[in-house]
Structures are given as structure tokens and as C-alpha cells.
């Protein structure tokens, strides 16, 4: 007989950041500085004793909603075969259909979906990348956490140097301030500091179409790997237009929370870099579905945040991707990812390759066990 899901443990975790950070959304008055990351963890156990762990997250708002939504619908997974991940995914989406198939609904289900993939790979004794089918054992890695706008140019330079010394290959900094001239000054200073090393910029959706075209034109001279989210995340046509006009690749997608939202970019003729986020798009199941379509469209990949998950998914993408380095989630896990020579290396451990730390337990604000 096949194995079945016996129980699910849901944990609501609040992880404070050592230093509050600000991107352009803060400087334009649309958001407050980011002070914490709120996570939804799922630990799944089967009747045969196999286990898996997955997580989703939110920033500034939505964490309690994710926890509450999954607590409402997770019961439908009990008794199902954990290998039937897509079937379970669909049953969870139907159980919560009244709130839609994007946003909080998909982000809540994502934590369980990731846990089921982790379980499947652990049971097979394989790293998740190997279970899916890896193209490579490591991926290019760039750092974002040192490039936020509350930091001075000198601080960004120091953090960039530290990142490069620890083996990270590329550096991304934030732009999109109300004073676009200050953006250009910061980019020029960091580009000079890095020499010809890989560099990216991220405007966090703060330009309109006219400003985005002007800024992309100004930034062409700096030989950037990409310009990220120059426009509103849901402006698929605008991003597609920019991607066809400029030599510097355009990148977007991190904010989108379903496969159809991502496919709007492809349908609009987008030629840039896609940045799906597994915890936001709904988990590994929809991530892989979109990744297949993106690869067919010839798009490059650079998944957003959550390197503990995305390293495996990037390693299974046909063309060479980038993985984003954030050390913020390190306290939640006992293990660390190997980074050297500008690359992030897939763990040889089974599943995602991570176990939950005592600190994660200490940061847990609420738990519920289902089943």
C-alpha cells in the first residue's frame, strides 16, 4: 500500500532583522522600513514515518493571514498519498477557492507544497535538485542584502567587498529614489568600486513608464547584468516593451503570486529575466510549471529570495541562472550553503538539505497540529 499523510505541524514564526532596511518603496512613502520577516513553516509526517519541511514568508503584512488560511484548508491533505503532490495542491486550492487562486491563498499553500517536495526527495535519498533533474551542481550567486537605500555608498562598498571575499559573484543595489540623480550617483560609485564585476540594480517598481525609459537609457553605460522591477510589477506590457528596447536585460516577477500572472509577461512578448518566487507563486509545483513555460520562451531565470529553496530549482533550469543571496534566514536552520568561486553549491544532503534550528523554535509565536 502507498504511504499517507498522518499529520501536519504549522508554525507561525517572526524573525526580526538585525538592522531595519529601506528600499525605494520606503523613500517614496509607500511602505515603512522592513524590520522583520514572518514565516509559515510546515512539517509533514507520514504513516510510514517519513518527514518533510517547507516554508513560505511575508514582509510587512500577510504572515498571520497565511497561517490562518492554511490552518483552515490543510485538513484535506490528511490521508492523501504524499507522492501525489499536484493532486494535493489542487485539493488545497479548491478547499480555499472562495478567496481566489493567488495572493495569500497560494502563498499559504506554498509552505505545504514545499514540504511535500522536501519529503519526496528525502525519501528518495536525493537532494531536491537531483530528484527534479539537475543541469548543474552550482549556480551563479549575487548578494542583495548589502545594497539597501538606508546604507551610505561607503557602507554599500564595504558590504560588497565583504560579499565578494566570501565567494559571492555579483552585487545588487537598490535604486528608485525620488531623486533619480542620486540613484545615478550611487550606481556610478558602486560600479567604479566593483570594476567590471557583475552588478545589478533594483528599482522596486518605483518608476513610471517615462522615467523607466530615461533611467534604463542612462544605466546602459554601466554594463549591468539587469535592471529589476523598473515598473509596477503587474505592468506586463510595460516590462515587455522595455525588454525589447534596451540592451541591458530587464528583470521582474518576484511579486507575482500565480502562474497566470507570470504568463502575462510571456504573452506580452517579454524578453527579459523572470524572477519567480516559489513561496509566492504557490510552491514548487507551480514554480516548475511556469519554469517549463519560461524555458520554452527562451527566458533567463533568477529566482527571488529564499535561496534555501531556489538553489535547487535554479539548478534544474536549462539555462544558466542566478540565485539571490540573503543571509537573513540563516538563524532558522542548522546548516549553511556552500558558497565559493562566485557560485552557490547544491547541498549533497537529501531534500532541501536543511533542518530547523532551536532558534526557529524560540521565534515561533503559534503552532497547530492537524491530523
Active centre residues (catalytic): 174, 304
Q: How far apart are CA 38 and CA 55, in angstroms?
A: 10
Structural contact between residues 153 and 336, judged by C-beta atoms closer than 8 angstroms: no
Write phi, then psi, for 190 (nearest 5 degrees).
-70, -35
Beta bridge partners of 172: 200
CA 312 from centre of chain: 12
In sequence order, the 6+-apart residues with CB closer than 8 A to the CB of 98 are none
Alpha-carbon distance values, 83 to 121, 124, 209, 269 (Å): 10, 11, 45, 36
Alpha helices by DSSP H, 17-140: 24-27, 63-73, 85-95, 104-124, 128-132
Sort strands 300-301 and 364-370 into parallel, antiparallel or unpaired: unpaired
For the chain, the first-to-last Cα distance in angstroms comes to: 20
Alpha-carbon distance values, 104 to 69, 74, 98, 282, 352 (Å): 8, 14, 12, 9, 23
Sort strands 34-46 and 5-21 into parallel, antiparallel or unpaired: antiparallel
CA 154 from centre of chain: 27
Q: How far apart are CA 10 and CA 369, in angstroms?
A: 6
Three cell numbers written together for 334:
542548522
Amino acid at each position: 500500500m502507498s504511504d499517507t499523510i498522518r499529520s501536519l505541524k504549522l508554525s507561525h514564526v517572526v524573525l526580526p532583522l538585525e538592522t531595519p532596511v529601506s528600499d525605494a518603496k520606503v523613500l517614496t512613502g509607500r511602505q515603512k522600513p522592513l524590520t522583520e520577516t514572518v514565516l509559515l513553516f510546515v512539517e509533514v509526517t507520514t504513516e510510514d514515518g517519513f518527514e518533510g519541511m517547507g516554508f513560505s514568508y511575508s514582509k510587512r503584512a500577510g504572515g498571520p493571514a497565511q497561517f490562518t488560511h492554511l490552518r483552515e484548508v490543510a485538513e484535506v491533505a490528511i490521508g492523501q498519498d504524499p507522492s501525489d503532490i499536484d493532486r494535493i495542491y489542487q485539493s488545497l486550492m479548491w478547499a480555499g477557492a472562495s478567496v481566489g487562486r493567488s495572493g495569500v491563498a497560494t502563498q499559504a499553500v506554498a509552505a505545504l507544497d514545499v514540504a511535500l517536495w522536501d519529503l519526496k526527495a528525502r525519501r528518495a535519498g536525493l537532494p531536491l535538485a537531483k530528484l527534479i533533474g539537475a543541469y548543474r551542481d552550482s549556480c551563479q550567486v549575487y548578494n542583495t542584502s548589502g545594497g539597501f537605500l538606508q546604507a551610505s555608498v561607503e557602507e554599500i562598498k564595504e558590504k560588497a567587498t565583504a560579499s565578494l571575499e566570501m565567494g559571492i559573484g555579483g552585487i545588487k543595489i537598490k535604486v528608485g529614489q525620488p531623486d533619480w540623480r542620486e540613484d545615478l550617483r550611487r550606481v556610478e560609485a558602486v560600479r567604479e568600486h566593483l570594476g567590471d564585476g557583475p552588478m545589478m540594480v533594483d528599482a522596486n517598481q518605483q518608476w513610471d513608464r517615462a522615467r523607466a525609459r530615461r533611467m534604463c537609457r542612462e544605466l546602459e553605460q554601466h554594463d549591468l547584468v539587469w535592471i529589476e522591477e523598473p515598473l509596477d510589477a503587474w505592468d506586463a506590457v510595460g516590462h515587455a516593451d522595455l525588454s525589447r528596447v534596451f540592451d541591458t536585460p530587464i528583470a521582474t516577477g518576484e511579486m507575482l503570486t500565480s502562474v497566470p500572472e507570470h504568463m502575462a509577461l510571456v504573452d506580452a512578448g517579454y524578453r527579459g529575466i523572470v524572477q519567480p518566487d516559489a513561496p509566492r507563486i504557490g510552491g514548487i509545483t507551480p514554480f516548475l510549471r511556469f519554469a517549463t513555460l519560461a524555458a520554452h520562451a527562451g527566458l533567463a531565470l533568477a529566482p527571488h529570495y529564499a535561496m534555501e529553496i531556489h538553489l535547487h530549482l535554479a539548478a534544474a533550469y536549462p539555462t544558466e541562472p542566478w540565485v539571490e543571496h540573503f543571509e537573513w534566514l540563516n538563524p532558522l536552520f542548522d546548516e549553511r550553503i556552500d558558497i565559493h568561486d562566485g557560485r552557490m553549491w547544491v547541498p549533497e544532503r537529501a531534500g532541501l538539505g536543511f533542518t530547523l534550528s532551536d532558534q526557529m523554535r524560540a521565534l515561533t509565536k503559534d503552532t497547530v497540529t492537524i491530523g
